[in-house]
Amino acid sequence: MTFMEFLNMGGYAVYVWSSVGLTVAVLIINVITARRAVSQELERLRKRYANEANTGASQ
């Protein structure tokens, strides 16, 4: 099997590669958004606690 044959997928290239591409994209987006949600929350909390410490407020 040549590399071109592999890419061609027996004439189903459009269907196979769009499915695979979409799947990889959805998986990667899931990982990125989940990780970003954690780091953003940590950042928000860091600012909040720092703010509270600076103003000296116990609330």
Are 13 and 7 in contact by the 8 Å Cβ rule? The answer is yes
Question: How far, in Å, CA of 52 to CA of 29, rounded?
Answer: 34
Q: Give yes or no for residue 15 binding other proteins (CB under 8 A).
A: yes
Contacts for 52 with CB less than 8 Å, ≥ 6 apart: 58, 59
- Structure tokens belonging to residue 6: 């592999």
Q: Based on the shown chain and the rule CB under 8 A, indicate whether residue 4 belongs to the binding site for other proteins.
A: no
Residue 51 is a binding residue for other proteins (CB under 8 A): no
Which one of residues 2, 4, 26, 54 is an interface residue with other proteins (CB under 8 A)?
A: 26
Give least dist CB 52 to other proteins, A.
9
Residue 57 touching other proteins (CB under 8 A): no
